Chains A and B, each alone.
Chain A
């Protein structure tokens, strides 16, 4: 009862709950990355587009699914485990610009998937001139 009252009185309760959720999620992802269930990714960008490299050792390239929806890139796959079991993974990246889903170039070598995706026409970074008064 006492705990209940304390909780009820604590105006930061909601905030605390949000904060305790966060590190668990973060650790979970870190752990999954370490055990190879969650592919680690390097990404680069410039004015023309985006390059993404993901560690997908052991993932059958036919079982890799790359999709782009406006500014969201999703990477899905399936990896065989011991004894015929499978593990599925999915990572989604939200980008500050839109991508051209028609012109994705994907290659896989030594267990690294390399994606080269141009920015969608009209989505290039542009400078806005400030009018002098």
Chain B
């Protein structure tokens, strides 16, 4: 299994698209830092999107980032987790089986003594690894660029009632990364499931991103009613509450729990489909 995972890791690593995506996630925090340094936001500037409710709005991240470089990764994560990071997750997940099928290589891979469950597990591990790596790179790049531009001080802004030590911010950054990534896991599992069904990775990726967009739009419409609370996308910005003086709980827990059934169902269907699939590509 380890050898198979290593093979799949290398296969993905040598793909130009992987490097382009990883370069983007490194560059975006740097560009945001340069923008904040050259044109510092005021305390009255916007909070980086959101609806002002408990699902991620209302925090002036760009202003905070200009006060402490430690907040640059959070501001970047906030912006990127709304769409770009979702696309990246769906790309790694949707690419896994469908790209092999698209190359015509799947039928050769499966003539090795590899159980289909084992191959799917290895592909899932690799997709999760690169999705996680993208999240980590956003944070690391943001920390480095932010620290150079604005220093690594704690945050103390009495007018906003905010006071956080360096240690507290770093802990919250780590938790934010985990929660932001986990908040996309349900949709990524959907992309992975589609990948087992298609011979075209673009179809799997676009299908999952499309589903995310639709659910996000529906989730913003109050008239949809309580059903939207069950969407995997509804609470995925809740980690921002960590920077509104809250500790882990409330909508953050709902976000964690909401992903679980989607992950189980989509991965289960993907496995069932792939095991019974006639491989012709």
Decide whether A and B are members of one complex. no
Interface residues of chain A, those whose CB is within 8 Å of chain B, are none
